[in-house]
Amino acid sequence: MADKDSYILALEKKLAELSGIEIDQVKKNQLANAADEARVIREMAEYVAGITVQQAGVAQAGTVSPQIAAIYAHITAELGEARGSHALPPLKYEYNGLEPHISGTIMEIHHTKHHQAYINNLKAATEKVIFCVQ
């Protein structure tokens, strides 16, 4: 256990040296961020719990909701893609292009996993909408 503790202390010292930020300040920021996230999640949960459905929605074959049409219009304007042909756009810079501020590995994971999940979900939602409209 002592070896692990000394290793962590050495890493923290090196991080403080390289970043110019004391580890205690980083820990305080992390705790503050976690508390803020917990507050926001609690507020969102309370908001969702307070939603009541006044009337059940009705789907009609061949009819697209104006709200859904507006969302796809925004997506088309942003990405220049027709509904259903969505693909992950390439970054306009290399993954390591923001180093040393943001790690290239983090950027690659964020783009290829996180952003790709958005595209996958958009395609799945589009399939459901197209299925309902036919």
Tokens coding 88: 């992950």
Q: Is residue 59 a part of any domain in this protein? A: no
Same domain as 124, residue 97: yes
Over residues 58-89, the pLDDT tens digits come to 767 777 778 888 888 888 888 777 777 788 88
Residue 89 makes CB contacts below 8 A (sequence gap 6+) with 79
What's the predicted TM-score (pTM) here? 0.46
Tokens coding 39: 């507050």
Same domain as 124, residue 73: yes
Q: Is residue 60 a part of any domain in this protein? A: no
Question: Which structural domain, as residue segments, surrounds residue 32?
Answer: 2-49
Same domain as 123, residue 75: yes
Biggest distance spanned by C-alpha atoms of the chain = 68
The number of folded domains in the chain is: 2
Over residues 16-49, the pLDDT tens digits come to 787 777 777 777 777 777 888 888 889 999 998 8
Q: Is residue 58 a part of any domain in this protein? A: no
